[in-house]
């Protein structure tokens, strides 16, 4: 018997504040397509880094749903982002991955474009053919402290400027635009992208699942419930909270922006940043919390300035004195999500001399694999007919409630 599908708007109405989303939002193909349209086409998304293309002629293809864009550096050393669609009959110009080119030459009929996207050669099109009307289509993009954000729609949300204004200053000392990608991984999580983001926005799961990360990571930013903790855990939580408040006060006094800034409620562009403290040796997210690279990033002169954390609705990043970890997600289907992680060091840092690759990468390699397992478990569970939306902890999962509320609001804003 043909079952009538519940309208997306009715499902949005049914979301209960403080609870996870109805299962359909994690499972249905039509909702996935709506998500891709709203959150990965009409919103700004982080797709890469200036230092992914460090030299003129470097190019990298980034696929987001059916859209493919080329991030490249032109002959004037400027970043360009263009659609990977030939203006003749639409052929893809470049294949997935990174390459080095002097011109963009379409493999089909050899239309040839400058690295700026300008069409310079189109054989057999006649003397009256106006090449200038057939340049590659540019993509709206912004470099924010060396992070490349794009918006694939014609009307990018203007409030990205608040993200830019906040982060330009905070990221300047790390000089990520001129850094080096020391290592990159791609993990396909067997789960819906919103489960990937929900998983990232809480550390409720950390103590039981991330032994490597917990050496350096302290979960305190969202508060705790003294009444539900043992005496020992409460003492530790209070100690962490006091340490966080003390260091934040000192860092701010020294001019290192550290306090929370976020754009979530009533914002189109979703972000949160704050400088987190690092446990133990206090330097970096490594197996012993000491720096992995002897050459610090950019103009950093200290290893003890914590972890400038930034997340958005498709990314989360950690900037420490010696290295940064950049994580970007791209949904592939309702039940698969790619997590692309990049480990960034000073451009002159040499592997085996200034840093050990194992020490640099092992914590987040392990954490990313553990998170993929958790997301797969969550996804499998929410597809079970027995699943019903569950309550978020108001102490450790407030950011998930904020995300789900923002998700519903943005769907509505966009006509669903």
86 binds ligand FES (CB under 6 A): yes
Stretch that binds ligand FES, among 54-62, 82-90, 171-179, 249-257 (CB under 6 A): 82-90
Residue 264 dihedral angles phi and psi, to the nearest 5°: -130, -65
Instruction: Choose the contact partner of 371 out of Fe ion, ligand FES, none; CB within 5 to 8 A by kind.
Output: Fe ion
- Going from the C-alpha of 350 to that of each of 4, 77, 304, the distances in angstroms are 60, 24, 22
> Which of 32, 40, 111, 316 is the binder for ligand FES (CB under 6 A)?
111
Query: Cα 6 to the chain's mean position, in Å?
Result: 31
> Which of 67, 68, 91, 370 is the binder for ligand FES (CB under 6 A)?
91
Burial status of residue 156 (CB atoms within 10 A of its CB: 0-12, 13-18, 19 or more): buried
112 binds ligand FES (CB under 6 A): no
171 binds ligand FES (CB under 6 A): no
104 binds ligand FES (CB under 6 A): no
Toward ligand FES, which CB reaches closer, 111 or 251? 111
b/e map 375-398, b = 16+ CB within 10 Å:
bbebbeebeeeebebeebbeebbb
Question: Scanning residues 359 to 378, which ones bind Fe ion (CB under 5 A)?
Answer: 371
How many Cβ atoms are within 10 Å of 17's Cβ, its own excluded?
Answer: 9
Toward ligand FES, which CB reaches closer, 109 or 359? 109
Measured between alpha carbons, how far is 157 from 17 in angstroms, rounded to an integer?
A: 26
Stretch that binds ligand FES, among 104-112, 151-159, 302-310, 320-328 (CB under 6 A): 104-112
134 binds ligand FES (CB under 6 A): no
Joined together, the tokens standing for residue 265 give 């409620």
Evaluated on CA atoms 287, 290, 291, 292, the torsion sign reads: negative
109 binds ligand FES (CB under 6 A): yes
DSSP single-letter state for residue 280: T
> Which of 82, 106, 214, 344 is the binder for ligand FES (CB under 6 A)?
106
Residues that bind ligand FES (CB under 6 A): 86, 88-89, 91, 106, 108-109, 111
Residues that bind Fe ion (CB under 5 A): 371
């Amino acid at each position: 018997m043909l079952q009538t599908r519940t309208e997306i708007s009715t499902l949005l109405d049914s979301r209960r504040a403080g609870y996870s989303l109805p299962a359909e939002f994690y499972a249905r193909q039509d909702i996935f397509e709506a998500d891709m349209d709203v959150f990965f086409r009409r919103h700004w998304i982080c797709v890469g880094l200036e230092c992914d293309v460090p030299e003129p002629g470097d190019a990298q293809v980034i696929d987001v749903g059916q859209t493919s864009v080329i991030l490249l550096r032109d002959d004037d050393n400027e970043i360009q982002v263009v659609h990977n669609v030939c203006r003749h009959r639409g052929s893809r110009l470049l294949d997935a991955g990174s390459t080095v080119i002097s011109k963009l030459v379409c493999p089909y009929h050899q239309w040839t474009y400058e690295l700026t996207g300008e069409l310079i050669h189109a054989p057999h099109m006649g003397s009256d053919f106006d090449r200038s009307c057939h340049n590659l289509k540019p993509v709206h993009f912004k470099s924010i402290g060396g992070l490349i954000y794009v918006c694939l729609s014609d009307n990018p949300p203007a409030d990205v400027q608040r993200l830019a204004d906040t982060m330009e200053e905070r990221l300047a000392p790390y000089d990520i635009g001129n850094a080096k990608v020391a290592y990159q991984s791609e993990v396909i999580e067997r789960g819906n992208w919103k489960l990937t983001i929900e998983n990232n926005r809480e550390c409720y799961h950390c103590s039981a699942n991330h032994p490597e990360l917990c050496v350096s990571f302290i979960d305190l930013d969202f508060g705790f419930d003294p009444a539900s903790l043992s005496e020992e855990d409460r003492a530790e939580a209070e100690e962490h909270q006091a340490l966080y408040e003390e260091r934040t006060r000192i860092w701010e006094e020294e001019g290192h922006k550290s306090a929370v800034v976020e754009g979530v409620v009533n914002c189109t562009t979703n972000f949160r940043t704050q400088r987190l403290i690092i446990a133990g040796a206090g330097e970096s997210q490594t197996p012993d919390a000491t720096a992995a690279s002897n050459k610090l990033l950019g103009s950093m002169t200290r290893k003890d300035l914590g972890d400038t954390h930034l997340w958005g609705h498709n990314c989360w990043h950690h900037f420490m004195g010696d290295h940064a970890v950049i994580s970007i997600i791209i949904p592939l289907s309702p039940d698969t999500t790619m997590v692309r992680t990049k480990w960034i060091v000073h451009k002159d840092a040499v592997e085996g001399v200034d840093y050990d690759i194992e020490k640099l990468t092992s914590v987040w390699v392990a954490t990313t694999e553990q998170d993929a397992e958790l997301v797969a478990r969550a996804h499998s569970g929410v597809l079970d007919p027995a699943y019903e939306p569950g309550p978020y902890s108001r102490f450790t999962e407030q950011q998930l409630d904020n995300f789900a509320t923002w998700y519903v609001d943005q769907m509505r804003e966009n006509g669903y």
